[in-house]
Structure 1
């Protein structure tokens, strides 16, 4: 995720240590000299296409050194880049680019300077782009949200936010020249701020995971065995720990859990496989980037409780609002609101800000007192539990709270109980609407290799640990990996759609 400093640092490293590896991709190394040459070659192609040194272009997040160089070259040419998922269909991609006000979809080819341009058509009679030009000008990169809670939104990341975050990464995780950092996330995901852009800024090496092999545990374990810093969602660590039986001999420095709730059981397995490494639980959103950090202790690993996401990073302000809208000052449960030194100023379309970016006045009315000129809070939509000492534990999104026979039920809490079963490798619970009960709960469970776990045994296990209304009505046991999104999270909509399709066939 480039900024003026990231770009200048990259060229400095290319001058000082040109043969040091910047990127490793599909068993091939790209040195800092080679990366800078790719940037310059892409820049020549951009100069032929764009005469003005400003504007917005759309670069699909196809993970290759050439795409990374193209994003950097676009920034060097004064262009802001919208980086959507590489999995978007053509029509969806053009619609997103059109709504953002991008002039072209730009793709990197396989060789230096090979750049393909496609003008974004503007439909007759269509309104002008809804993007805020000032937000485009202040950013070098525009990410998109996952869309799991609605349509994807374009999120411009200011230059200054990138630079402040890069400094935090260096000081917290010791990323410096020679450090090898594993990049599991797609290029359109905010995690790349750490494991690609901050890594390149520091003169370190990014080990790029091939998306085509993102569920290949043996392949991931081979890369993880060489990395000094690993950042990933729980799925990454589940795949790695399932693929190896003996601890890694290399002394890893930092392993970072992020993107979802991590169980103590998984964290303990990771600690055994990576002896001596520091384990970190980090929480953030695309709109704010990382905002909470917790250094995992031995007590955390043996407590049986979900890992805390910890306390706010330096410069981060956070409040927890209860169901009555009041700020929770002691222990309690509510929605987390944050504002960070790394956050966006708002969505590219300001009309989407409503209800998400909350001006201080609305929070002050609930009990917090701040200057109205300060940045807004972002309503994360995540339900957390605040402990008396200010530590925060993530419990799940508001969207994961449903009513079952009138009882408020947290789907992710049920998942955490399932994941504590020794024969369960992965689990997801989805709610299907029901006229009588409000919702029926369905659990899809991947059992651990070599076990004979069945639904009857799992139902009994849940009956001993969950309220009756929280016991899934149906258990589906599988030996195959659960469907996942490009970011490595469980694809709940796909599982829900599959359940609905199976129900339709049953009724035919």
Structure 2
């Protein structure tokens, strides 16, 4: 790797440039029957960068990416960055009103689109748009030659991408992340997991979800093949299992619910994916009984729990070296090098002793710049780094995650739940994830989510939504909770469902459950 990957200046698209120089003929992207080499991806993204620059897009401008995940989309990401701009992935399945709101919020100056977007309408009539580029109209196909390598001189402090996440107010939050933010995480991951040009890495997460950062840029950093997981395979577990095998994947990265679905519906037997050496999961708690089963089936694979809100990239990690003995959730582990993970107690002090708990604050090079066009909300979550926060590599600000954690005796952090998942019922403060952990201990439970439904009499009623083996009853689930929890934490209702609703990033859609059972 060149100086761009060391301590000097660098940008995310330099990873592609270096891979193309060192391994021009290696496979960069696999998109169904199509493959691109690193030389081809580098050249294509240069042409796109030149088209954007010719359209008036400048350094720091925002460019919307309204495409299904595809070779075009990957080339588009690198092309936007080479043009010195910032890419804003738009969920092709989202309603047009939401897409327009996001595009208007960050004032996108250009839109990249194509025929393989989600089939819905496109926000391509926005005021101020300098260009709408259809990425299937590649000048290389018509013989038009454009300038060679494009370099606009952006560096670590320049904005690279904005990821919009759901806001508690109903208005999406634009999380702004720099080239340096992305590189700090990607460099660590490539080194820690030994990613190399022989690897074939899954690309399962949608591009508007932060798991995609490791997929797209980790593959480029390692000159590995990025294998795009087809949407159809994601929807059908048997097909997904077949795809993992036939695509020869060596690295998998997704939310735990996808792996749980494979375990539940794909008929997996011992060593189902012999080529898979590394399984990374993030985004939500992995039910421990399901994790244990997966590790039993795949004794040769390395399994790692990655933790981090979109605002921090991945900031802590925990390698699950052995199948868990108990049903307690596995830790979220320790901070990445150069990152400080500080636990602030309710009294405002820093937790230092095992067993102490509080809100997790993260500081260091992976932490976002702030929320786009929202200084008030930015000021609420980016606070001065607490005095005594050892381990942070620069950065005066710490991000308040809103996550509650406990210091373990071995120094690992244990996730307790969200501050906003702490609810009041009958005068008691209840942590919903604690109830979920009790339910997951029942052998028949595959997945569950406990939600609080507002009720005038008791403030909130607790509803447990459970996916369980056939024949399971609410009575049995209630007993499982009574065996582990105080009476006030026993759910008022147990709803047996075929599947939990998912958001566009495959996380459990708790809001939908509240609406359904209110």
Q: CA deviation at 1:314?
A: 0.7
* Cα-to-partner distance string for 1:322-377 (whole Å, 9 max, x where unaligned): 222222111212111111322212222233212200113xx34xx76999x84201
Q: Please name the residue that 1:169 is paired with.
A: 189
After TM superposition, give the deviation of residue 27 of structure 1 in Å.
4.7
Partner of 2:453: 432
Q: Is the 8 A contact 2:358 2:405 kept in 1?
A: yes
Matched, 1:308 2:319: no
> What is the CA–CA distance in structure 2 between the aligned matches of 1:94 and 1:286, rounded to whole Å?
22
Give secondary structure in 1 for the equivalent of 2:314. Answer: strand
Query: Counterpart of 1:126?
Result: none
Contact preservation (8 Å) 1:292, 1:309? yes
1:222 lines up with 2:228 in the alignment: no
1:270 maps to 2:294: yes
- The answer (yes or no) to whether the contact 1:139–1:159 under 8 Å persists in 2 is yes
Residue 472, structure 1, aligned to residue 491, structure 2: yes
| Residues 377-415 of structure 1, C-alpha deviations (whole Å, 9 max, x = no match) | 100000111124431101111111111211111111111
Cα shift at 1:248: 2.0
Q: Distance in 1 between matches of 2:90 and 2:376?
A: 20
> Which structure 2 residues correspond to residues 349-428 of structure 1 after superposition, within 5 A?
349=373, 350-360=375-385, 363-364=386-387, 374-428=395-449
3-state secondary structure, aligned to 2:274:
coil
Deviates more, 1:100-109 or 1:273-282: 100-109
Q: Contact between 1:419 and 1:425, CA under 8 Å: does it hold in 2?
A: yes
Please tell me whether the aligned partners of residues 384 and 392 of structure 1 are also in contact (alpha carbons under 8 angstroms).
yes
Matched residues in 2 for 1:61 and 1:431: separation?
Answer: 36
Query: Mean Cα displacement is larger for which, 257-266 or 374-383?
Result: 257-266
| Match in the other structure for 1:238 | 260
The 5-angstrom pairing of residues 297-336 of structure 1 reads 297-298=321-322, 301-330=324-353, 331-336=355-360
Residue 416 of structure 1 aligns to a residue in which SS? helix
Give how far 1:427 is off. 0.8
- The equivalent of 2:140 in structure 1 is none
State the Cα deviation string for residues 38-81 of structure 1 (Å, max 9, x = none): 32443353244226455222223531111121121122122222
Match of 2:89 among 83, 87, 112: 83
CA 1:384/1:54 → structure 2, altered by over 3 Å: closer, same or farther? closer
The answer for the alignment partner of 1:481 in structure 2 is 499
SS of corresponding position for 2:471: coil
CA root-mean-square deviation: 2.8
- Matched-pair contact (CA < 8 Å) for 1:135–1:348: no
Structure 1: runs of 5+ lacking an equivalent: 123-133, 501-508
- The 8 Å contact of residues 251 and 275 in structure 1, kept in 2 or not, is answered as no
1:436-474 residue CA offsets vs partner (Å, 9 max, x unmatched): 2121011111123xx311222222222222221111111
Q: d(CA) in 2 for partners of 1:495 and 1:101?
A: 33
Superposed counterparts of 1:176-191, under 5 Å: 176-191=196-211
Q: How far 1:250 sits from its partner (Å)?
A: 1.2
Q: CA deviation at 1:16?
A: 4.7
Q: Is the 8 A contact 1:155 1:287 kept in 2?
A: yes
Deviation of 1:270 after TM superposition, in Å, equals 1.4
Whether the aligned pair in 2 keeps the contact of 1:256 and 1:281 (CA below 8 Å) is yes
Q: CA–CA distance in 2 between the matches of 1:121 and 1:102? A: 9
Change (3 A) 1:144 1:61: farther
Contact 2:156-2:181 at 8 Å conserved across structures: no
After superposition, the Cα gap between the structure-2 partners of 1:254 and 1:62, relative to the gap in structure 1 and judged at 3 Å, is same
**Which residue pairs with 1:139 in the alignment?**
159
* TM-score normalized by the length of structure 2: 0.85
CA distance in 2, matches of 1:370, 1:174: 24
**Native 8 Å contact 1:318 1:337 kept in 2:** yes
1:212 deviates by: 4.6
Q: Which of the residues 110, 113, 116 maps onto 1:107?
A: 113
Q: Which TM-score applies when normalising by structure 1?
A: 0.86
TM-superposed deviation, 1:489:
0.7
CA distance 1:149–1:488, change in 2 (3 Å): farther
Q: Distance in 1 between matches of 2:350 and 2:294?
A: 36
Task: Give the whole-Å Cα distance in 2 for the aligned partners of 1:381 and 1:185.
Answer: 24
Tell me if 1:460 matches 2:484. Answer: no
Taking the aligned partners of 1:137 and 1:56, their CA distance within structure 2 comes to 15
Inter-CA distance 146–174: structure 2 relative to 1 (3 Å threshold) = farther
Q: Deviations over 1:68-100 (max 9, x none)?
A: 211211221222222233333222222222221
Q: Tell me by how many angstroms 1:267 deviates.
A: 1.6
Q: Contact (CA 8 Å) 1:97, 1:105: kept in 2 or not?
A: no
Q: Please say which of residues 179-188 and 39-48 is displaced more in the overlay.
A: 39-48
